[in-house]
């Protein structure tokens, strides 16, 4: 039972610098008089303050506070702590299932005799409908309006549902469609840095249902991505159970050389951190190089945390942060409160003062002068290629066997030319030719230096007479309306337009698979000639099959480089020695002729990016737009489900739920549904892109009278469990060891039939058989998708046995009642002689009190093999979720049983 906070004795008042009253009260870390606190990383101090402020000796205990203060000794021991973030961040793709689940939980509470109105967010929830624009209209001055109208036609039901949720649930702020990408809106507008709630001051911290929530760490706000189910529990007042992380100290020195961009830096940092190994850790940046990085540069690095594997990449608040808060329109009073509080609580870095040496778990160092221009690809964000080596690397990829760095194109076909006709004009494609060039994604579109840098490249190119081939699908998707304002003020947007980089909308686009169709003649030339076509985008993800089904080579690059590669028309080029095109006067134009200097970019940024732009944009943001405002939605706290809807559907999670938990359970005689190798991403497990015409999901929609042109994307239908279960493991690039082919099929072991994964799973379920999945390393890497766990659960998967798991995905599996197991180090399915054709029994005690986090369990197959695996329930709380059949069931039963 909760008691009074034992730390109330350190509650102090914070006076305003003017002496005119107080800002409020705060829990003072210096008042603890504990010398260990001065040595703590800043990111750990945020966890400490939260534990102190929320200490009730029930959900958060004094012992938890001591564990965090003693971080230097406890963090190497995998100690568990509770954490209560200040708020939760949702975007519409993940927000829809979250609101669906909340609505379902209200229904379940009702049926079980509880008070359904208890299902309400207890912490602030910011839901940004960034509506992930499908780039149907690209090269057009009216692309924004046209794409927006199409989005509302397709997603009216989904948007209406979220609008209902904003009225039905307390403590939920909904930012309407057309406002921007969730992470950029979070950075420029939603991020509080310091909260003042009912007169109590405390640091902003956030968990979000997108892995790139980490972008906010550039602003000194501790934030990271979690699964939708974990976020929902946090919204409902449950503390997050987490292992107290190690913190890697990353020291930055020097200054970036002229012409080197923040994107080049982040791709370099990503490679360094992947090599070092930072999974499950915090990374904290410090050093004199920090003063050379703008806030937007820091946000670019923080955004890529999922790509380098860290929980977050944290930049403590300093003078640069305060300058950015003023630039983005935060009031002087607010900025004064933020600085005063953080200084008083030893959470502010002042580089003009001597620095107290902090302790880190390990140390890295990078001199910014050593960063070279680079891109990453062709299939993973951490496969960095220095620009000067790109042509050589590309030819190596053509030669190499099929893999992350290989396409295995036979030598005699590497110079193949595919002839086609484009709008009546003869044209051709070769391997490496660019067919999609997109300035997209929150990673870069928050950063004025690279956005205006791209515009300067466009200006220089147009003045020299260069143009982009008309069949290359070019697009520009700013992260917020502010970008449009400064591109227009600079007078540079017109040059981007002339090259086809018209603004297509404000939201996630190409980087999440919403590139839209490419021209049919181009598509036919690629497929009929087996051309390895390329996409170049300024995003953060380039996994296979994600950008577009027909672009097998996908490269991440800075916005200026996206423009450069679009002009070149190919990735098969050495920018140092080969011309990028021919100018008006017939002379060869080289890369160096169109590349702006750092000084040119800085001058345009200084004159074009102004505080009023942010104020104007965000003063109007919650007023919505006519299309949003005209949406009519039902009232009432319980949602009226429409059984005919193909967008919003009541899932079966709470069907037949009783007040008694089902208890722990092992797995008996399960078949293997899929047998995977390494690096199976959440894109493979739960696609977010287009719905393939021959897929089970397409069949389901067609049977319900939905035209193929109205299929929309998997992401847009995340509120319908029937579609999403059929979309699970439906990625066209999936590789299953049961088959000697690429595609979303598997073998139904008892019959030997080759079936879609959904059909095989349905057959196993109807015959009363459980299933498991075998996998290699990094299972579930990529975006934090709750459907990558919900889908397998609905397919009847009871356990996943892998070499290793991505952090968020493992947590999501636990939240849906799926058992995660790890092979012992040095072992995997192959070394153990497992083919996947066996039947698997996993022996677990039936009483959850007899199970320990991380214990060894025995797995036995029907052909006599036995091996030991590690049970990856990592905390006692996760065991409680498993006992209840999942995290949401646990919350419902606790709320009904709660006396307070």
Rg of the chain over Cα atoms, rounded to whole angstroms, equals 27
Domain of residue 69, residue span: 15-84+244-369
SS3 568: helix
Identify whether residues 564 and 698 lie together within a single domain: no
Q: Confidence class of residue 709 from pLDDT cuts 50, 70 and 90?
A: confident
Identify whether residues 754 and 795 lie together within a single domain: yes
- Predicted local confidence at residue 560, as pLDDT: 96
**H or E element at residue 619:** helix 611-619
856-892 residue pLDDT tens: 999 999 999 999 999 999 878 889 999 999 989 998 9
Identify whether residues 422 and 360 lie together within a single domain: no
Q: Could you tell me if residue 740 is inside a domain?
A: yes
Beta-carbon count within 10 A of 17 CB: 11
CATH number for 829: 3.20.19.10
CATH number for 279: 3.40.1060.10
Q: Which of 383-387, 739-743, 868-872 has the lowest mean pLDDT?
A: 739-743
Contact (CB, 8 A) for 638 and 813: no
Handedness of CA 326, 47, 243, 97 (dihedral sign): negative
Give, as one character, the DSSP assignment of residue 849. Answer: G
Calculate what percentage of the chain has a pLDDT beyond 70: 99
Q: Could you tell me if residue 301 is inside a domain?
A: yes
Identify whether 378 is preceded by a cis peptide bond (ω within 30 of 0).
Answer: yes
Cα first-last separation, the chain: 9
Average pLDDT, integer, range 320-332: 95
Identify whether residues 362 and 382 lie together within a single domain: no
Nearest to 181 by CA among 486, 504, 639, 410: 504
Of 345, 369, 393, the position where a domain reaches its end is: 369
Handedness of CA 332, 337, 338, 339 (dihedral sign): positive
Contacts for 53-56 with beta carbons within 8 Å, 24 or more apart? Answer: 53/5, 53/7, 53/27, 53/200, 53/202, 54/82, 54/84, 54/239, 55/5, 55/6, 55/7, 56/2, 56/3, 56/4, 56/5
471-489 residue pLDDT tens: 999 999 998 889 999 999 9
Give, as one character, the DSSP assignment of residue 180. Answer: B
Q: Which of 325-329, 476-480, 574-578, 684-688 has the lowest mean pLDDT?
A: 684-688
Q: Cβ contacts of residue 457 below 8 Å, gap of 6+?
A: 560, 563, 564, 594, 595, 596
Distance CA 206, CA 241 (A): 14
560-573 residue pLDDT tens: 999 999 999 999 99
- Predicted local confidence at residue 900, as pLDDT: 43
Give, as one character, the DSSP assignment of residue 186. Answer: I
- Predicted local confidence at residue 508, as pLDDT: 77
Contact (CB, 8 A) for 650 and 641: yes
> Based on the structure, what is the number of domains in the chain?
3
Calculate what percentage of the chain has a pLDDT beyond 90: 74
- What are the structure tokens assigned to 486, written together? 């400064």
- Predicted local confidence at residue 152, as pLDDT: 86
Q: Confidence class of residue 651 from pLDDT cuts 50, 70 and 90?
A: very high
Classify the phi-psi angles of 133: left when phi > 0, otherwise alpha if psi is within -120 to 50, otherwise beta.
beta
Contact (CB, 8 A) for 154 and 141: no
- What are the structure tokens assigned to 100, written together? 């669906």
Please check the confidence at residue 1 and state whether its pLDDT lies above 70: no
- Please give, one letter per residue, the 3-state secondary structure of 632-675: CCCCCCCCCCCCCCCCCCCCCCCCCCCCCCCCCCCEEEEEEEEE
Contact (CB, 8 A) for 746 and 755: yes
Contacts for 186-189 with beta carbons within 8 Å, 24 or more apart? Answer: 186/89, 186/126, 186/128, 186/213, 186/215, 186/216, 187/215, 187/216, 187/218, 187/219, 187/299, 187/328, 187/446, 188/328, 188/446, 188/480, 188/482, 188/614, 188/617, 188/618, 189/328, 189/614, 189/618, 189/621
Identify whether residues 364 and 494 lie together within a single domain: no
Average pLDDT, integer, range 308-317: 96
Please check the confidence at residue 546 and state whether its pLDDT lies above 70: yes
Q: Confidence class of residue 251 from pLDDT cuts 50, 70 and 90?
A: very high
Q: Could you tell me if residue 54 is inside a domain?
A: yes
Identify whether residues 389 and 254 lie together within a single domain: no
Identify whether residues 463 and 594 lie together within a single domain: yes
The full DSSP string for 87-116 is EEEEEHHHHHHHHHHHHHHHHHHHHTTS-G
Q: Cβ contacts of residue 367 below 8 Å, gap of 6+?
A: 253, 254, 289
Give, as one character, the DSSP assignment of residue 507. Answer: S
Q: Confidence class of residue 131 from pLDDT cuts 50, 70 and 90?
A: low
Contact (CB, 8 A) for 542 and 378: yes
Comparing 535 with 625, the larger pLDDT belongs to: 535
CA 448 to mean position of chain CA atoms: 22
Task: Name the burial class of residue 280, with classes exposed (0-12), middle (13-18) and buried (19+) by CB atoms within 10 angstroms of its CB.
Answer: middle
**H or E element at residue 229:** helix 228-235
Q: Could you tell me if residue 748 is inside a domain?
A: yes
Beta-carbon count within 10 A of 34 CB: 14
On the CB side of 73, how many CA atoms lie within 13 Å of its CA? 6
Average pLDDT, the chain: 92
SS3 817: coil
Contact (CB, 8 A) for 456 and 560: yes
Q: Which of 49-53, 74-78, 439-443 has the lowest mean pLDDT?
A: 439-443
Q: Cβ contacts of residue 720 below 8 Å, gap of 6+?
A: 645, 646, 647, 648, 649
Average pLDDT, integer, range 588-599: 96
399-414 residue pLDDT tens: 999 999 999 999 999 9
CATH number for 480: 3.30.499.10
Identify whether residues 325 and 412 lie together within a single domain: no
The residue to which tokens 């049919």 are assigned: 520
Q: Cβ contacts of residue 73 below 8 Å, gap of 6+?
A: none
Comparing 799 with 137, the larger pLDDT belongs to: 799
Q: Could you tell me if residue 101 is inside a domain?
A: no
Handedness of CA 43, 48, 53, 56 (dihedral sign): positive
Identify whether residues 276 and 302 lie together within a single domain: yes
Nearest to 69 by CA among 279, 359, 362, 348: 359
Distance CA 313, CA 562 (A): 25
Q: Could you tell me if residue 299 is inside a domain?
A: yes
Give, as one character, the DSSP assignment of residue 356. Answer: P
Q: Confidence class of residue 784 from pLDDT cuts 50, 70 and 90?
A: low
Q: Could you tell me if residue 70 is inside a domain?
A: yes
CA 493 to mean position of chain CA atoms: 29
- What are the structure tokens assigned to 468, written together? 């982009």
Identify whether residues 714 and 733 lie together within a single domain: yes
Give, as one character, the DSSP assignment of residue 361. Answer: S
Identify whether residues 563 and 490 lie together within a single domain: yes
β-bridge mates for residue 856, sequence order: 870
Q: Could you tell me if residue 31 is inside a domain?
A: yes
Contact (CB, 8 A) for 452 and 461: no
Beta-carbon count within 10 A of 470 CB: 14
Average pLDDT, integer, range 738-764: 95
**H or E element at residue 167:** helix 143-168
Identify whether residues 721 and 752 lie together within a single domain: yes
Give, as one character, the DSSP assignment of residue 831. Answer: T
């Amino acid at each position: 039972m909760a008691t009074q906070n034992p730390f109330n004795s350190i509650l102090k008042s914070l006076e305003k610098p003017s002496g005119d009253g107080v800002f409020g009260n705060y829990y003072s870390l210096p008042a603890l008089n504990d010398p260990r606190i001065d040595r703590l990383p800043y990111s750990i101090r945020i966890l400490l303050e939260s534990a102190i402020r929320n200490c009730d000796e029930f959900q958060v205990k004094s012992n938890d506070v001591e564990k965090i203060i003693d971080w230097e000794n406890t963090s190497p021991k995998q100690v568990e702590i509770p954490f209560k973030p200040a708020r939760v961040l949702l975007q519409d793709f993940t927000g829809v299932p979250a609101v669906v689940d909340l609505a379902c939980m209200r229904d379940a509470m009702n049926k079980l005799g509880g008070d359904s109105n208890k299902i309400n967010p207890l912490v602030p929830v910011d839901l940004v409908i960034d509506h992930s624009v499908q780039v149907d209209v690209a090269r057009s001055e009216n692309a924004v309006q046209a794409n927006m109208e199409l989005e509302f036609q397709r997603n009216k039901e989904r948007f209406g549902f979220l609008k209902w949720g904003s009225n039905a649930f307390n403590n939920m702020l909904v930012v309407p469609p057309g406002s921007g990408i969730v992470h950029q809106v979070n950075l420029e507008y939603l991020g509080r840095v310091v909260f003042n709630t009912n007169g109590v001051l405390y640091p902003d911290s956030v968990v979000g249902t997108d892995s790139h929530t980490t972008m906010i760490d550039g602003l000194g706000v501790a934030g990271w991505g979690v699964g939708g189910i974990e976020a929902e529990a946090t919204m409902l007042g449950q503390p997050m159970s987490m292992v107290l992380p190690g913190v890697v100290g990353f020291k930055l020195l020097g200054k970036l050389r002229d012409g080197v961009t923040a994107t080049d830096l982040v791709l370099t940092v990503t490679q360094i951190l992947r090599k070092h190994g930072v999974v499950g850790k915090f990374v904290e940046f410090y050093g004199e190089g920090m003063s050379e990085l703008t806030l937007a540069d820091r946000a670019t690095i923080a955004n890529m945390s999922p790509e380098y594997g860290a929980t977050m990449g944290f930049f403590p608040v300093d003078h640069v942060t305060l300058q950015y808060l003023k630039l983005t329109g935060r009031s002087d009073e607010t900025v004064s409160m933020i600085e005063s509080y953080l200084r008083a609580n030893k959470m502010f870095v002042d580089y003009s003062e001597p620095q107290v040496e902090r302790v880190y778990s390990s140390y890295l160092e990078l001199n910014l002068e050593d960063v070279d221009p680079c891109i990453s690809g062709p299939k993973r964000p951490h496969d960095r290629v220095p620009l000067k080596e790109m042509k050589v690397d590309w030819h190596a990829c053509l030669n190499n066997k099929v893999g992350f760095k290989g396409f295995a194109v036979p030598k005699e076909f590497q110079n193949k030319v595919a002839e086609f006709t484009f709008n009546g004009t003869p044209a051709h494609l070769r391997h490496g030719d660019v067919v999609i060039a997109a300035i997209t994604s929150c990673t870069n579109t928050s950063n004025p230096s690279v956005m205006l840098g791209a515009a300067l490249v466009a200006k220089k190119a147009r003045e020299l007479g260069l143009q982009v081939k008309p069949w290359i699908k070019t697009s520009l998707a700013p992260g917020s309306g502010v970008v449009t304002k400064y591109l227009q003020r600079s007078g540079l947007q017109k040059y981007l337009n002339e090259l086809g980089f018209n603004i297509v909308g404000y939201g996630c686009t190409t980087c999440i698979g919403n590139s839209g169709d490419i021209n049919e003649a181009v598509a036919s030339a690629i497929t009929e000639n087996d051309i390895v076509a390329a996409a170049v985008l300024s995003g953060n993800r380039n996994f296979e099959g994600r950008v577009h089904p027909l672009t097998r080579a996908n490269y991440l690059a800075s916005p200026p480089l996206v423009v450069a590669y679009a002009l070149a028309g190919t990735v098969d080029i050495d920018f140092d020695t080969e011309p990028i095109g021919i100018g008006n006067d017939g002379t060869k134009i080289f890369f160096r002729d169109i590349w702006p200097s750092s000084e040119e970019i800085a001058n345009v940024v200084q004159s074009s990016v102004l505080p009023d732009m942010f104020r104007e944009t965000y003063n109007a943001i919650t007023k919505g737009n006519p299309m949003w405002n005209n949406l009519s939605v039902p009232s009432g706290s319980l949602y009226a489900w429409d059984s005919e809807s193909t967008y919003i559907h009541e899932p079966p999670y709470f069907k037949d739920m009783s007040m008694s938990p089902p208890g722990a359970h092992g797995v008996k005689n399960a078949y293997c549904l899929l047998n995977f190798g390494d690096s199976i991403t959440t894109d493979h497990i739960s696609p977010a892109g287009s719905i393939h015409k021959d897929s089970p999901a397409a069949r389901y929609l067609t049977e319900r009278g939905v035209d193929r042109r109205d299929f929309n994307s998997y992401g847009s239908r995340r509120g319908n469990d029937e579609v999403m279960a059929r979309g699970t493991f439906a990625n066209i690039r999936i590789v299953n060891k049961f088959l000697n082919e690429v595609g979303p099929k598997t073998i139904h072991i008892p019959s030997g039939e080759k079936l879609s994964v959904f059909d095989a799973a349905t057959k196993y379920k109807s015959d009363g058989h459980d299933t498991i999945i075998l996998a290699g390393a990094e299972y579930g890497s990529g975006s934090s998708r709750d459907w990558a766990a919900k889908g397998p659960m609905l397919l009847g998967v009871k356990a996943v046995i892998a070499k290793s798991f991505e952090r968020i995905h493992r947590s999501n599996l636990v939240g849906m009642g799926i058992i995660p197991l790890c092979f012992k180090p040095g072992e995997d399915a192959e070394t153990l002689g497992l083919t996947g054709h066996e039947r698997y029994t996993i022996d677990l005690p039936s009483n959850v009190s007899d199970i320990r986090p991380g214990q060894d369990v025995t797995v036995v197959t029907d052909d006599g093999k036995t091996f030991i695996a590690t049970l990856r329930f990592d905390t006692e709380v996760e065991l409680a979720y498993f006992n209840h059949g999942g995290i949401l069931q646990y919350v419902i039963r606790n709320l009904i049983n709660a006396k307070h």
